[in-house]
Every structure is written in C-alpha cells, then in structure tokens.
Amino acid sequence: MFSNPLLKTTLPSTADLPCSDDTPVDNEDQNLLPNLLLLLLTRIWAGRMDWYFGVDMAVYHTTGISPKVPVVPDGFLSLGVERKKGGKSRRSYATWEENDVVPIFGLEMVSHTPREEYDEKLDLYAKLGVLYYLVYNPEFWRRDQHQPFELYKLVNGVYHLQIGEPYWMPEVGLGIGRYQGLVGGIDQEILTWYDQQSDRYLSAEELADQERSRAEQEQLRAEQEQRQRQRLEAYLRSQGIDPNQLPD
C-alpha cells in the first residue's frame, strides 16, 4: 500500500484533516441504513475490539491524486484495527495511521444525483484495494440500468459482480443482504448482516421481542397446566377422593 516509511512522516495527521467532504446526503436512508448496519455490528461483534465501521467518514489514502483528497463511503468496514483508536473516537480514517489497513468492505448508496458509483468510484475502490464493494440502488436502478443490489469482489485488481443474496463474505465473516422490516414503525427494505447459514442477525429490539414472546408463551403454558391440575383435583374430590392422599 505505502512502501516508503520515510515519506509517512510527511503525511498529514487526521487531527488536521476534514472528517468528511461536506457533500450532503440527499436522502435520509444514506445515513439511516449504514447506521443500522453499525448498530447491529456492535451487538453481534460486541466481544471483538479489532474492527471499525465508519459511516459517511472520509477515508484518506495514498493511491489517489493526493493523500489530502479522501473517498467518503456511505459505510465501510475495516478489520484488524482498534474499535477506538487510542481509546478515542476517530474524526476520519487515514490508512497510514491504521498500519496501512484499507477497508475490506465499502458501501455506496445511489442517490437522486448519480455520483459515479458504477465507474469512477468503482475504479477508485479497486485501486485502493477494498475487497468487497456494494452498490445499493433500491430506487434508481432502472434509471441506471443496474440491479438494486450489486456486490463486487476484487480479484487480481478487477471487480467482479457476485451472484447470490444474502452473499457470504468469508474474509469478513459476515453475509450481507436485504430484508423487509420495520424501522421506527415504518415498513421498508433494509440492508443487514447474515450468518454463514444465511440466517439474518436479529436486532436487539427483535431479540427483546422474541424473549418477551417466549416468556409470555411459557407463562401461558404454566397457567394451562395449573387449570388442568385444578380440574383434575375438582373431579377427584367429586368422586370422594382426596387428591392430596393419592398413593405414590
């Protein structure tokens, strides 16, 4: 990635670099969906401290026209880096401050205004070395003559469109795909993580609902058993039999 360690001393610090490119998102899902991926990851990888998921954050690198010109994915995942760099939150992500670790997964969501997700950005991510590149285009895929969900894998420096959804990424240890669910009471399509068996990881809210439903079913079963026992005891007494004096 960056072979000359002497030149690293001339690179700017993230403390002095902008945290983004100040390009506003033009729909709310560009913030919502990557943050849902991040929130779910903080649950399923709660015990791991060797990953970082950035949302709308500048990624600075040395493969472009200038190390001061970042790429800003809607979301990205890096492995083998600190969750909190030096115990503090990152303002931006500079590969030369992360032991030259580039993101292994990048997400771009196509908006009302096309921003070269299928050509210029694809070439940029390939040059950077991002292994998996997802273009999510639920609204404008017909306009752009692409599919709503396109996941590319970098093979010998070239991106190849992958088939199947959810798609398992063995190098990441996660699958990625879509599902129809509720967010804040609104039904919509959502990007989410899957396990190797293509089972969707549930959110903390869904797990709580599942546990609450399980507890309610257990209580209902216990109440039904108690009613059956009470009916049996009542019948035995009607026959002159004390249910408490039954032989073993």
Position 159 confidence tier, pLDDT thresholds 50, 70, 90: very high
pLDDT band at 6 (very low <50, low <70, confident <90, very high): very low
Q: How sure is the predictor about 24, in pLDDT bands with cuts at 50, 70 and 90? A: low
Distance CA(170)–CA(38), nearest Å, equals 19
The sign of the torsion formed by the CA atoms of 169, 152, 45, 85 equals positive
Q: Which residue has the higher pLDDT, 116 or 220?
A: 116
- CA 161, CA 39: separation in Å to the nearest integer? 27
CB contact at 8 A, 236 and 243: yes
pTM for the model = 0.82
Q: What is the three-class DSSP state of 156?
A: coil
pLDDT attached to residue 168: 98
CA distances 95 to 19, 121, 165, Å, are 14, 18, 30
Identify the architecture of domain 5-201 in CATH: Alpha-Beta Complex (3.90)
pLDDT, one tens digit per residue, over 66-108 is 889 999 999 999 999 999 988 889 999 999 999 999 999 999 9
Q: For residue 146, is pLDDT > 60?
A: yes
Domain spans in the chain, listed from the N-terminal domain onward? 5-201, 209-245
**pLDDT reported for residue 229:** 80
